[in-house]
Structure 1
Amino acid sequence: MELSYWELKNWFTNIDYTIVGSGIVGLHTALRLRERFPTAKILVLEKGMLPQGASTKNAGFACFGSLSEIIDDLITHTEDDVVRLIEKRWQGLQLLRKRLGDTAIDFKPYGGYELFLKEDESSFSECISKLPFVNEILKPLFKADVFSKEVDRFGFENTNEYLIFNPFEAQIDTGNMMQELLRQAVAANILILNQQTVTSYTDAGNHVEIVLNDFSFTSKKILFATNGFANSLTNGAVKPARAQVLITEPIPNLDIKGTFHLDKGYYYFRNIGDRILLGGGRNLDFETETTTEFGQTEIVQNKLESLLREVILPNHNFQIAHRWSGIMGVGNSKNPVVTQLSENVCCGVRLGGMGVAIGSLIGTELADLI
């Protein structure tokens, strides 16, 4: 990289904080650092043309976990852990709304629903039996019952006649959210450089030496907000998880509004105007979907299309308009990793597929490690 004197002076000299990753976590980290250090020089490096992981590729669910997902989490985490995690997701959503404003992110409080396939009667029965208990442990946080049983009024097929409803869920416009975050970052005099990959770094004690391919510079601190791409940073505590997504062309007379979950959150869909966005299916082939490579697979795409045909839109003709994928960060625990790796190196990663909910809070916590 051949840089001029001006480029070196303005972008790569006297840097206080370098943040790697310009997604939800990275930009919230930068904005929080700006609040704390008004005169600091803050540089954000992004390896993609746009945020590379899931921040502009997610489904736009303002959610904190479906009932079956929470019940599943209670098997692998303590009750306190699960409640604390839901509290963090809820706090994160409030922080996101407060910083960006509901209008900017097109916040629509339609509520969320969980549906159950007829063949999955045991999961439905378990959810109904444990619903009062989950409501009880969440009541101190929400001051009301979170989950209730409702008759399906959407015309789904091959599903139980009842849905689980959650009035606290909403949907947002992911693209609008990221544009507003970027706008605020630029307004706060935060430098953002895209198409820049950090190939190595060294904590030299009083600064960090950062290498971008064939160019290096120094920064007082470096903060990693790379989520699904943080495997090597965290010695394997974060694994990438690819999520495949598709969206239909507009469907006349579509009467589906809200965010919807199926099979412990492994499938999820929502309306965007008169379109249906549907994603998930990595549980069909965990091994293949544990990857940082973007793309689609036949097994997942076929399943998504069959769900559209047989369950979600049984009486509609529809066309697929577009398909894409995003990379999440998961691990053995759903708890995020916000930690100091060395004197001048920190990371905030492993959002567990809940980046919209928890990302703003993790960015804030990461900045507050400094």
Structure 2
Amino acid sequence: MLSLSYWEIKNWFSNVDYTVVGSGIVGLHTALRLRERFPKSKILVLEKGPLPQGASTKNAGFACFGSLSEIIDDLKNHTEDEVVQLIEKRWHGLQLLRKRLGDQTIDFRPYGGYELFLKDDESAYAECLQKMPFVNEVLKPLFKADVFSKEVDRFDFKGIQDYLIFNPFEGQIDTGNMMQALLKEAVANDIQILNYQTVTGYLDKGNSVEVHTNDFVVTTGKLFFATNGFAGTITNGAVRPARAQVLITEPIPNLDIRGTFHIDSGYYYFRNIGDRILFGGGRNLDFEGETTTTFGLTEQIQNRLEELLKNVILPNQEFQVAHRWSGIMGMGTHKKPIVEQRSQNVFCGVRLGGMGVAIGSLIGQELADLLE
């Protein structure tokens, strides 16, 4: 246990009103919302990594709310009202993020989103074309227009069905810019962020919470968990980690691909970043192996990403992989995020279902607003 000085105890660890665990999208929005509601409070954020761990600095930067095939799948497992409410939350969350940070700051680009279907995915393709009018009708009250339409492939992809499904409401952002801006805003609002602090336990004492980390014990008025993929223990298994593996190419001369793209019900996804292609996914090749909180890459998934890149996405172009990484998302049997009070002074906002960019800002606000 770290031996703290008088100054450290006085300035960092005394009279803490609110402690947030996790400095990702949800955690920082929680802290910023608490600052709006309680201007004179002392707010502490604990982060176990050097940067926000999980997926907040590792995601693909999709400003999306679900591809057509994902929405159709969700309608099989959730009620129509539940699916519409979820999409509405994602859509409003994106607007909240854009309003807070500004489109220029996060490099928001409304290129639209596309879904493509591989040649051997005939059944999913046919189902999407058949159900597209119904889904558009369901979403019309929210978007005041048709969300999905058929479009001819102008990108010269290979080995896919004749038409792409286009969504004009989808865009892309710069994930690094977004998180850097959120961190700067937190600091500007006198929110203390301590890195390399893993919360090892806590005790709700009724009038306060004792929080144990790897280095010290801090007493706080209220404790908020915003740890998403790492929230299995505090939610009794309602959140399962889901690792996402990603690669990015070196710049490709004259790259003519602009937008965000989904394949195989969203299990694969790619986009341009300038003249590079970022490509991720493939956890459906090994659900068991990818249900982990350990960062890492596997040959099976990386090989499949490269194979699709070579044969489907960039069939007529040479490319080199520049970098590879992974992130940890939070999934569950239900897509609805968990925003709830766990005990008298402990709260959590988790299970973002791979939609952290879209829904994270709103979940952070809802988490802070659980306080009466």
Amino acid at match of 2:232: N
Any residues of structure 2 matched to 1:149-298 within 5 Å, and which? Answer: 149-298=150-299
- Could you say what secondary structure the match of 1:200 adopts? strand
| Other-structure match for 1:305 | 306
- Summarize deviations over 1:27-84 as a string: whole Å, max 9, x none: 0000000000000000000000000110000000000000000000000000100000
Which TM-score applies when normalising by structure 2? Answer: 0.99
Shift, 1:213, TM fit: 2.0
| Other-structure match for 1:369 | 370
Shift, 1:214, TM fit: 4.7
Report the RMSD for the aligned CA atoms in angstroms: 0.5
| Other-structure match for 2:337 | 336
| Other-structure match for 2:26 | 25
Q: Work out the CA distance in 2 between the residues paired with 1:293 and 1:309.
A: 28
CA contact (8 A) 2:35 2:189 kept: yes
| Other-structure match for 1:75 | 76
Q: Work out the CA distance in 1 between the residues paired with 2:198 and 2:116.
A: 41
Any residues of structure 2 matched to 1:113-124 within 5 Å, and which? Answer: 113-124=114-125
CA contact (8 A) 2:67 2:265 kept: yes
For structure 1, the residue ranges without an aligned partner over 5 or more in a row are none
Any residues of structure 2 matched to 1:82-161 within 5 Å, and which? Answer: 82-161=83-162
Q: Work out the CA distance in 1 between the residues paired with 2:294 and 2:214.
A: 20
Q: 1:68 to 1:142 in 2, by over 3 A?
A: same
Amino acid at match of 1:332: T
Shift, 1:107, TM fit: 0.2
Amino acid at match of 2:299: E
Amino acid at match of 2:84: V
Q: Work out the CA distance in 2 between the residues paired with 1:3 and 1:14.
A: 16
Q: Work out the CA distance in 1 between the residues paired with 2:322 and 2:78.
A: 39
Shift, 1:3, TM fit: 1.4
Q: Work out the CA distance in 1 between the residues paired with 2:108 and 2:95.
A: 11
Q: Work out the CA distance in 1 between the residues paired with 2:120 and 2:227.
A: 38
Aligned residues: 370
Q: Work out the CA distance in 2 between the residues paired with 1:154 and 1:61.
A: 19
Amino acid at match of 1:89: R
- Could you say what secondary structure the match of 1:103 adopts? helix
- Could you say what secondary structure the match of 1:104 adopts? helix
Q: Work out the CA distance in 1 between the residues paired with 2:263 and 2:274.
A: 21
- Summarize deviations over 1:67-106 as a string: whole Å, max 9, x none: 0000000000001000000000000000000000000000
Amino acid at match of 2:225: F
Q: Work out the CA distance in 2 between the residues paired with 1:2 and 1:157.
A: 61
Q: Work out the CA distance in 2 between the residues paired with 1:70 and 1:263.
A: 12
Q: Work out the CA distance in 2 between the residues paired with 1:121 and 1:197.
A: 47
Q: Work out the CA distance in 1 between the residues paired with 2:217 and 2:182.
A: 28
- Could you say what secondary structure the match of 1:326 adopts? strand
Q: Work out the CA distance in 2 between the residues paired with 1:64 and 1:214.
A: 39
How much identity, in percent, do the aligned residues show? 78
Amino acid at match of 2:328: I
- Summarize deviations over 1:154-195 as a string: whole Å, max 9, x none: 000000121000000000000000000001100100000000
| Other-structure match for 2:50 | 49
| Other-structure match for 2:40 | 39
Q: Work out the CA distance in 1 between the residues paired with 2:86 and 2:54.
A: 22
Q: Work out the CA distance in 2 between the residues paired with 1:31 and 1:14.
A: 18
Amino acid at match of 2:344: E
Which TM-score applies when normalising by structure 1? Answer: 1.00
- Could you say what secondary structure the match of 2:106 adopts? coil
**Segments of 4+ in structure 1 off by > 3 A?**
none
- Summarize deviations over 1:212-240 as a string: whole Å, max 9, x none: 12521200010000000000000000000
- Summarize deviations over 1:200-257 as a string: whole Å, max 9, x none: 1000000000111252120001000000000000000000000000000000110000
Q: Work out the CA distance in 1 between the residues paired with 2:306 and 2:215.
A: 45
- Summarize deviations over 1:275-305 as a string: whole Å, max 9, x none: 0000000000000000000000011001000
Amino acid at match of 2:248: I
- Summarize deviations over 1:308-332 as a string: whole Å, max 9, x none: 0000000000000000000000000
Shift, 1:363, TM fit: 0.1
CA contact (8 A) 2:197 2:215 kept: no
Q: Work out the CA distance in 2 between the residues paired with 1:313 and 1:6.
A: 57
Amino acid at match of 2:80: E
Shift, 1:121, TM fit: 1.1
